[in-house]
Amino acid sequence: MLSQLNNTIKELLFPNICMMCSKEHASGKSNPFCFSCTVNMPYTNHFKNQPNNASPKFRGRIPCVDVACLLNFYSYSDVKKMLHKLKYKGRKDIGFELGLMAGKKAKYSNYFNDIDLIVPIPIHKSKLIKRGYNQSTFIANGIAEFIKAPVREDVIIKYTHTKSQTKMNRIERVKNVRSSFKLADKNGIQGRHILIVDDVLTTGATIEACGNHLLESNGVRLSILCMCLARN
């Protein structure tokens, strides 16, 4: 009774605000989205068929088993604002919730089978200290609730800042991004099917760089799951 009263007081003092539409809602304290936004998000249909319109991003670049994004991401959309809150406003819960949604779709699709490890794209240590967290790790933790595999943050390390790429051609850019990551556990991932996780898929250069490092280990297979596919 007392705890119920406490919860009611907490909800009055700290109303649950939806991270998409900014309205108050009652979808449960742990949910960052209201029911209406959850239903009406710009979902892709990537979990129904492979290949889908995210797959060509990696064709001829790295071999992938399955590729999917949860949401379509257009500039100046509510998805962009929501991602900003995830990355820069401390709302790790957004990442976890998106991960849950993507993990559930992946689990009940015909794809993303036999995943052994989930590897979030790492961020540099100085960025981690400044931001306090890696948003992709929270996404990966949400996915792991459905795809029962360990989340490994120690497999790939980002150890230098990526140099400015404005004057580079495509091949130089690929080399530049690749040289800012290193594989830290080559032996421990042999023969594994690894799910690479990131927040937004734009050019795919970062995922390609990390994927190439993972493929240095014998018998590794890769799948990719991103929360958003940049459409323009």
Residue 21 vs 157, nearer CB to Zn ion:
21
Shortest Cβ 38–Zn ion spacing (Å): 8
Q: How far is CA 116 from the centre of its chain?
A: 17
Q: Which window, 35-43, 56-64, 78-86, 133-141, contacts Zn ion (CB under 5 A)?
A: 35-43
Count of residues in contact with Zn ion, rule CB under 5 A:
5
Q: Does 68 bind Zn ion (CB under 5 A)?
A: no
Nearer to Zn ion, 71 or 177 (CB): 71
Cβ-in-10-Å burial (0-12, 13-18, 19+) of 223 comes to buried
Member of 16, 31, 37, 54 binding Zn ion (CB under 5 A): 37
Note whether 34 binds Zn ion by CB under 5 A: yes
Contact between 18 and Zn ion by CB under 5 A: the answer reads yes
Among 20, 62, 195, 196, contact with Zn ion (rule: CB under 5 A): 20
**Candidate ranges 30-38, 81-89, 104-112, 168-176; the one touching Zn ion (CB under 5 A):** 30-38
- State the CB neighbour count (10 A cutoff) for residue 111: 19
**CB-wise, 74 or 133, nearer to Zn ion?**
74
C-alpha angle 95-42-84 in degrees, rounded to nearest 5: 40
Positions touching Zn ion (CB under 5 A) are: 18, 20-21, 34, 37
